[in-house]
Amino acid sequence: MTTPRLSRRDWLKLASAGVVSYSMAPWFSQLADAAAPNPKRKRACILLWMNGGASQLETFDCKPGHRNGGPIKEIATSVPGLKISEFLPKLAQQMHHLTVIRSMATKEGDHTRAAYHLRTGYLPTGSIQYPTLGSLVAKELGNEEAALPNFVSIAAAPFLSPGVYSSGFLGPEYSPLMIGNQGYWFGNTGNYANMLKVQDLLPPKEIAETQVAARLELVKQMQGEFAARRPGMSSASQQAAYQRAVRLMRTAASKAFDLDEEKDSLRDAYGRNLFGQGCLLARRLIERGVPFVEVTHSGSNNVGIGWDTHENNFEQVRQNCATLDPAWATLLTDLKERGLLDTTTIIWMGEFGRTPIINSQRGRDHYPNAWTTVIGGGGVKGGLQYGKTSRDGSKVEENPVNVQNFIATVVQALGIDHTKQNMSNVGRPIRIADAGSKPIQEVLA
């Protein structure tokens, strides 16, 4: 029998209406595969967030032969003349899909403020609640009727800066579904397969479906009455989260989180760890129409802020890259083979870079003055080096890029007008990218 080729719109309508049941789960991947190469497919974004601020000097802007460069060697890539760290051999063969921006020049050297700046495009203020990038993209590219959330955050570290995961003045409907962050900081990441599932979606087997439906309807009524008496952000957030959970329960959408559907060989290629399997989950979510997914890398064991290499920098970066390299390289290959790379923009960044000067503990400290981000995939020219730092890595010599211009470039690559405004919580319109920002046209496809 030939599988019916429903449009994505028809599929999402069926899913959100609860018509699709778990018995139809085998169809899900086939329908997603058929939709992937559709030329009308909406764009999507995957953010690979390097928690703590990765060293540019041991990843994408090495300084071999200079005392600031340390012992790290460069290797050739798939792009003639473009070299990166020896710690990233698999990614080196994928550099024709990526553009390295080596001239980031920002001002914030504090983890919390810098993370907020990079992920919202604005510095924190006491009055305006700025939305994070994922929420902005979810609003512009998301489907309100979709069973899956429009913004998923994997292995996040919200305790450092809760504001960077907030939908801010856009409202709770654009907040992220956060998974894989259970036990963060304490190293409870061994059971990553369970961490990457949405918990408690299925009702107890002893409860009949009619009972479940009746209970859900009762809770809905009670929530409505409570919200009517006590309107505000808290009750609206609770309602939005609850409704999202119910949509997942009543459809086959939750199968997106079942990594056991993937071949063992592919799972091995991504890496059997929280970050690697998180990247695989990101692909599965993007494939099913989620417009924004972020995967946080908090070090080789996803413990603490593992890229914050004040001590033993070289060994720590080597260990971190051992999980980053296969996961990112496989993600690019996987997206390409499924016809998704041309519509999926990938961002690699952290809060800032690391100091060119190696400290007394063989570490590198916070350094926002001259560092590196990487973007690629949809809407971006691959195989480019943009900007340049000095021989010692201490300053930007060509094409400095600030946060505002970087955000404008990312959203423009996604087909979003960076000058668009949203009404803030203080009644003032706020642009997606700050006034005066300009996308880097040399980078955009």
Which is more confidently placed, 280 or 182? 280
Average pLDDT estimate for 390-415: 98
- 342 neighbors 382 (Cβ within 8 angstroms): no
Share of the chain above pLDDT 90, in %: 67
Tell me the pLDDT band of 399, cut-offs 50, 70 and 90.
very high
- The per-residue pLDDT for 252 is 73
Secondary structure class of 350 (helix, strand, coil): strand
Token code pair at residue 204 = 């107890």
| pLDDT-wise least confident of 2-6, 170-174, 246-250, 438-442 | 2-6
CA dihedral for 4, 245, 282, 145, sign (positive or negative): positive
Q: What share of the chain is helix, strand, coil (3-state, %, to 5)?
A: 40, 15, 45
DSSP bridge pairs for 134: none
- The per-residue pLDDT for 198 is 77
The mean of the pLDDT values for the chain is 85
Which is more confidently placed, 290 or 215? 290
- What DSSP string describes 178-207? EES-TTTTTT--S-HHHHTS-TT-SPPTTS
Average pLDDT estimate for 355-384: 98
pLDDT digits (tens, 9 = 90+) for 27-39: 444 444 444 445 4
- What DSSP string describes 402-414? -HHHHHHHHHHHT
Average pLDDT estimate for 36-55: 83
| pLDDT-wise least confident of 236-245, 275-284, 319-328 | 236-245
Which is more confidently placed, 186 or 53? 53
Closest among 41, 71, 39, 69 to 56, alpha carbons compared: 69
Average pLDDT estimate for 13-27: 38
- The per-residue pLDDT for 240 is 63
Average pLDDT estimate for 390-404: 98
pLDDT digits (tens, 9 = 90+) for 336-352: 999 999 999 999 999 99
For residue 411, the one-letter residue type is V
- 373 neighbors 348 (Cβ within 8 angstroms): yes
pLDDT at 23 over 60: no
- 410 neighbors 136 (Cβ within 8 angstroms): no
Distance (Å, rounded) from C-alpha 70 to C-alpha 212? 61
Which is more confidently placed, 68 or 25? 68
pLDDT at 245 over 70: no
Distance (Å, rounded) from C-alpha 266 to C-alpha 333? 11
Question: For residue 319, how many other CB atoms are within 10 A of its CB?
Answer: 16
| pLDDT-wise least confident of 7-16, 127-136, 314-323, 339-348 | 7-16
Tell me the pLDDT band of 5, cut-offs 50, 70 and 90.
very low
Using DSSP bridges, classify how beta strands 429-431 and 371-377 pair: parallel, antiparallel or unpaired: unpaired
- The per-residue pLDDT for 157 is 83
Domain residue limits, the chain: 42-197+258-431
What topology is assigned to 42-197+258-431 in CATH? Answer: Alkaline Phosphatase, subunit A (3.40.720)
- The per-residue pLDDT for 301 is 63
Instruction: Label residue 339 left, alpha or beta by phi (over 0 means left) and psi (-120 to 50 means alpha).
Output: left
Average pLDDT estimate for 395-405: 98
- 390 neighbors 337 (Cβ within 8 angstroms): no
pLDDT digits (tens, 9 = 90+) for 63-75: 999 999 999 999 9
- 100 neighbors 60 (Cβ within 8 angstroms): yes
- The per-residue pLDDT for 13 is 41
Distance (Å, rounded) from C-alpha 241 to C-alpha 228? 17
Tell me the pLDDT band of 161, cut-offs 50, 70 and 90.
confident
pLDDT at 52 over 80: yes
